[in-house]
Amino acid sequence: MTVYLNHAFHYETENLVRLFFPNDKITVQNEAPPEGTLPLITTLITPEENSRRIFVSAAFSGFYAEDAKTIDISAESPEDAEKTLERALAVCLYGVLVKLTGRKQPWGILTGVRPIKLFRRLTEQYGEARAKDYFQRELLVSEEKTRLSAVTEKYEKKVLALSQPRSFSLYVSIPFCPSRCSYCSFVSQTIENAGKLIEPYFALLCQELAATAEIAAACNLRLESVYIGGGTPTTLSASQLNTLIAEIRRHFAMETCREFTIEAGRPDTIDREKLEAIAEGGVDRISINPQTLNDDILKVIGRKHSAAETIEAFALAREVGFRHINMDLIAGLPTETPDSFVHTLNRICELSPESVTVHTLSMKRSSRLTLQGRELDTAKESPAAEMLRYGEKKLTQEGYHPYYLYRQTRMEGNLENVGWSKEGFDGLYNIFVMDETHTILGCGAGAVSKLKKPLSESLERIFNYKYPYEYINGFEELLRRKERVKTFYAELAEYLSQICL
């Protein structure tokens, strides 16, 4: 598909088109294409006296639609005029794409991953009523998603208040899995292919943790949460898990830590010895992630365990003593139907975990499903939308509330991921990282340290090497990069002294 434009809103235009055509190859260009090019989407902005004329058209085989409008920007600053034009162009293009596909988007013209952050900013500026009105009237967000945003924002706000100017959270990456799920686009490696790297990787990870803790202490940072993710951290042995947790506790100042999470995501990697090692280390939150409790779907997505094993792993975690267990589900998995999703969620609710995260399938470019060419249906509402509606109704009835929400590119039905929890069990790290509340120090392959300037939107990133072999080979350079954390906070010293009590 070709998108022809003559303005600076390349990124915004491409992303909006991609909402309707998530798996198409989209070429964006400033030069007029040859006559007869199909399919072709055109978006043009033409200057006029004190105004700009917007023209949008979509030409497909057997279909043509267009729209145009004139926007008066005479009374606006250059910055405000740009925002007005960007939104007006998006609304115009959205209308043409709805005519083309016959399908509205639940999040309207929003393409960003953090709609709750935007809703919070609008609420703080104008109040909740006007924020809701802006979402629906100006951004074309559905009433259903606007309501969900308002509820989620209230719960997020309570957690955000816990963060201080020098707060940070720690992320630790264990990029290994027993097998690769067909929908996965993470940098995790299967044990079969990369098992020999685990020991050298683990040894260097412990060194990076010690170095990172030293940097955090030198910068006088306050630890709020720890999250060990992956991959599947429980691919490590019980002894390695015990060592990893002990290293974190030995090097970091844990007195202020409010939450310590380990993903025990794959039931086929969980046993009593590992769970006891995790519990004895003082981890207070684990995540057991079935994704689905339908055995036929588990086979399709490449999982090497059964639904029964998930339930057994959950019962074992309870027996060992865990009192905050999260479970992840994915709506829209291949071959899944609304009925099979209902079966999974009802069974999960019978187990009564403290939190449930309902993801929507995201078809990333590097996932095996996408590489196999699976297409998404843009001609009607995705079945995943029905699944999420049931999830919201059922989880609310069971006493859960939405505490964080985010979106990804190429999501089935252009929907969202929502974390649901019982009162007092909101996942703190999930909120901190998605809201970009404070600094995140990342350790391990694929981890990203995000340095946050307090009371601003400024965020600086330090990337670790993505793959375990790169991490091992480039370890000294990785530590050198992380020294930037010290200079970052040194540069902020005067700024922080003015805002800290």
- ∠ CA(416), CA(225), CA(498), 5° rounding? 100
Q: Cβ contacts of residue 75 below 8 Å, gap of 6+? A: none
Place of tokens 């600076």: 8
3-state helix, strand, coil in the chain (%, to 5): 45, 20, 35
The pLDDT, as a whole number, for residue 376 is 36
Q: Cβ contacts of residue 132 below 8 Å, gap of 6+? A: 146, 147, 150
Give tens-digit pLDDT for 308-322: 999 999 999 999 999
The pLDDT, as a whole number, for residue 371 is 36
Q: Rounded mean pLDDT of the chain?
A: 92
Which DSSP state fits 138?
I
- Whether 128 contacts 177, CB under 8 Å: no
User: Given pLDDT bands bounded at 50, 70 and 90, which one contains residue 189?
Assistant: low
The strand ranges marked E within 379-478 are: 401-406, 417-421, 439-443, 448-452, 459-463
User: Given pLDDT bands bounded at 50, 70 and 90, which one contains residue 340?
Assistant: very high
Alpha-carbon distance of 57 to 319, in angstroms, equals 61
Q: Is the pLDDT of residue 416 over 80?
A: yes
Percentage of residues in the chain having pLDDT higher than 90: 84
Q: Is the pLDDT of residue 168 over 80?
A: yes
Mean pLDDT confidence for 269-273: 95
The pLDDT, as a whole number, for residue 23 is 78
Facing residues of 46 across strands? 53
- Whether 181 contacts 268, CB under 8 Å: no
Specify the range with the lowest mean pLDDT, choosing from 36-40, 287-291, 371-375, 463-467: 371-375
- Whether 87 contacts 138, CB under 8 Å: yes
Mean pLDDT confidence for 160-172: 96
Mean pLDDT confidence for 344-364: 94
- Whether 330 contacts 183, CB under 8 Å: yes
Specify the range with the lowest mean pLDDT, choosing from 97-106, 127-136, 371-380: 371-380
- Whether 473 contacts 200, CB under 8 Å: no
- Whether 361 contacts 331, CB under 8 Å: yes
**For the chain, domain boundaries:** 1-102, 108-161, 162-284+439-501, 293-323+325-424
Structure tokens at 411: 């999501």
Q: Is the pLDDT of residue 166 over 70?
A: yes
- Whether 12 contacts 90, CB under 8 Å: yes
Give tens-digit pLDDT for 238-258: 999 999 999 999 999 999 999
Alpha-carbon distance of 297 to 387, in angstroms, equals 15
Specify the range with the lowest mean pLDDT, choosing from 9-13, 488-492, 497-501: 497-501
Q: Give SS3 for 48.
A: strand
Of 284, 164, 156, 310, the C-alpha closest to 227 is 284
Alpha-carbon distance of 414 to 382, in angstroms, equals 9
Give tens-digit pLDDT for 464-481: 999 999 999 999 999 999
Q: Is the pLDDT of residue 302 over 90?
A: no
User: Given pLDDT bands bounded at 50, 70 and 90, which one contains residue 438?
Assistant: very high
**CATH 3.40.190 given to domain 1-102:** no
Percentage of residues in the chain having pLDDT higher than 70: 92
- ∠ CA(435), CA(223), CA(210), 5° rounding? 120
- Provide Rg for the chain, Cα atoms: 24
The pLDDT, as a whole number, for residue 368 is 43
Q: Identify the CATH number of the domain defined by range 293-323+325-424.
A: 3.30.750.200
The pLDDT, as a whole number, for residue 378 is 43
- Whether 258 contacts 200, CB under 8 Å: no
Structure tokens at 430: 């999930």
Q: Is the pLDDT of residue 486 over 80?
A: yes
Mean pLDDT confidence for 20-39: 93
Which DSSP state fits 372?
T
Helices (H), 234-271: 238-251
Specify the range with the lowest mean pLDDT, choosing from 70-84, 168-182, 434-448: 168-182
Alpha-carbon distance of 268 to 286, in angstroms, equals 15
The pLDDT, as a whole number, for residue 266 is 86
Which amino acid is present at 435? D
The pLDDT, as a whole number, for residue 367 is 42
More reliable by pLDDT, 380 or 170:
170
Alpha-carbon distance of 46 to 222, in angstroms, equals 52
Mean pLDDT confidence for 114-135: 97
The pLDDT, as a whole number, for residue 111 is 92
The pLDDT, as a whole number, for residue 193 is 59
* Cα end-to-end distance, the chain, whole Å: 55
User: Given pLDDT bands bounded at 50, 70 and 90, which one contains residue 370?
Assistant: very low
Q: Is the pLDDT of residue 179 over 90?
A: no
Omega into 39 within 30° of 0, i.e. cis?
A: yes
Mean pLDDT confidence for 361-369: 58
Q: Is the pLDDT of residue 186 over 60?
A: no
Helices (H), 294-406: 295-300, 307-320, 338-351, 368-371, 383-397
The pLDDT, as a whole number, for residue 156 is 97
